Amino acid sequence: MTANAPENRQGQARKAGIASFVGTTIEWYDFYAYSTAAALVLGKVFFPTTSALVGTLAAFASFWVGFLARPIGGIVFGHLGDKVGRKKTLIATLMLMGCCTTCMGLLPTYGQIGVLAPVLLIVLRLLQGIAMGGEWGGAVVLSSEHAPKGKEILYAAFAQQGSPAGNLLATLAFLIVSTLPDHQFMTWGWRVPFLFSALLVGVGLFIRMSVEESPAMQELKDKKQIAKLPIGEVLRNHKSLVAMGVGACVIALSATYFKTTFALSWAVTSIGFDRTQFLGVITAAIVVQLIVQPFGAVLATKMDLKKAVTFMLVPEIVALPLMFSLIATGSVKLAMIGMALASIPHSLYYAAMAGILAKSFPAQVRYTGISLSYQICGMLFAGTTPILGQYLLSSTGSIWSVVALGVVHVLITLVCALMLVGRMHQESARSEQNATLVST
């Protein structure tokens, strides 16, 4: 039995990584499906009594509602994950997200039931946000806690691959239905990607239920070291870690919404791209992200972590303005090149970020701590990106105001990520010193 223990643990680590990847892919598919629909159709279907601009802003506002709810999900499911266990909590988040997304595909429109339609849409978006708030942290924690020693950042990156994979699936789904004639797309075509979620959730549940609880969580249960109130302990003892964690996530989260939700709306309504053309541009960029992203976790494992973070983030300061400049040309090829290049820096960093956050918090409050950091960042920065970008563009008449916002996001991330890594190194050195004192 003992001879097989390392092999069994390695098998469970692989299972946990795959389950995290599949589960987060499905959850992100659901979340990104809404962001794509918000840019293309929801304003016209659920907010049709306003002008085109106000309808788009209203759709983006409903998109932000999901981010407002995500910290709630991080607290609720983080509490359950740190008290009951990672696995059970992740099954609950997957089911909640799938049910909400499927129901969105069945919603009556404003033309059918009036103001109740956008109200129901916003309620479902709130529930989606709560589910997403609990999903990400749990997936990262489960895979990183199953990881072999020294490979936590690599295994946490399995969960991170779910974001581009889910985004790619959602974009492809809308790319397919966007080829329908306008009348069919606006009446029933946009619903198909939402309804497809039901099938994906069934697959995700089957895979996720086969994974064992993480060794770290099991050890906490065996030693009766479970935190009584995880959120209370986080706010009492780890406020600075949460603040640094929020800042360290900024461009890793907001870049996607600069590239997809905002850029899609801007390119179609202002530059003159056909929606199918620009969805193709986005699809190519997501494929680049999917391929490139894992190398960020490799770099963070092989290089000095501070150097790796700097190497991954600094190029985004140039790449983001270049992307918007090339989109503004109206050329599909140039837009595709610009968006693909801008995808590389933040994708590399996104892969490493999850493991950095997971290693920063103690096991007793890890689920709650990283969820709170990530979801507060989503609420304050990522969720506001499309609506703030649209406001800046409308008020200044220049895309460079939006570019400036993106560069500020990069700088905040760089400063906070370096602070977090420095703090992590200090804690590691202190632990080694204490272990040496105990042994002597």
Query: What are 177-214's pLDDT values in tens digits?
Result: 988 888 898 889 989 999 988 888 888 888 888 888 88
User: Residue 1's Cα: distance from chain center in Å?
Assistant: 39
CA distance 367 to 263: 33
Taking the domains of the chain in order of start, what are their residue ranges? 9-209+229-424
To which residue do tokens 């916003």 refer? 122
Under the banding of pLDDT at 50, 70 and 90, the label for residue 407 is very high
* 8 Å CB contact between 323 and 343: no
Give the whole-number percent of the chain exceeding pLDDT 70.
92
Correct CATH for 9-209+229-424 of 1.20.20.10, 1.20.1250.20, 3.40.50.11540, 3.40.50.1000: 1.20.1250.20
361-388: per-residue pLDDT in tens?
A: 998 999 999 999 998 998 889 878 888 9
Mean pLDDT of 335-356: 94
What does pLDDT average to over the chain? 87
Task: Identify the pLDDT of residue 369.
Answer: 93
pLDDT of 360 over the 50 cut = yes
Amino acid present at 40: L
| pLDDT band with cut points at 50, 70 and 90 for residue 55 | low
- State the greatest distance between any 2 C-alpha atoms of the chain, in Å, as a whole number: 77
Question: How many alpha carbons fall within 13 Å on the CB side of residue 120?
Answer: 17
**For residue 2, what pLDDT band results from cuts at 50, 70 and 90?**
very low
SS (H, E, C) 104-151: HCCCCCHHHHCCHHHHHHHHHHHHHHHHHHHHHHHHHHHHHHHCCCCC
DSSP label at 381?
I
| Residue 210 main-chain phi, psi, to 5 deg | -85, -5
Does residue 51 carry a pLDDT above 70?
A: no
As to burial, measured by CB atoms within 10 angstroms (0-12 exposed, 13-18 middle, 19+ buried), residue 52 is exposed
Instruction: Give CA–CA dist 440/425, Å, rounded.
Output: 23
Contact 280, 272 (CB under 8 A): no
Tokens 């699936």 -> residue: 169
Indicate whether 162 pLDDT > 60.
yes
pLDDT per position as a tens digit, 68-116: 888 899 999 999 999 988 889 999 999 998 898 899 899 998 888 888 8
For residue 297, name the pLDDT band (cuts at 50, 70, 90).
very high
Distance of alpha carbon 156 from alpha carbon 142, whole angstroms = 8
Is residue 406 predicted with pLDDT exceeding 90? yes
Please give the structure tokens belonging to residue 19: 């389950």
CA distances from 257 to 253, 309, 362 (A): 8, 21, 31
Task: Evaluate whether 213 touches 86 at the Cβ level (below 8 Å).
Answer: yes
| pLDDT for position 202 | 87
pLDDT at 3: 46
CA distances from 17 to 22, 65, 144, 221 (A): 9, 30, 8, 22
Give me 174's structure tokens: 């809308």
Structure tokens at 327: 């989109």
**φ, ψ for residue 172 (rounded to 5)?**
-65, -40
Classify residue 432 as exposed, middle or buried by CB count within 10 Å of its CB (0-12, 13-18, 19+).
Answer: exposed
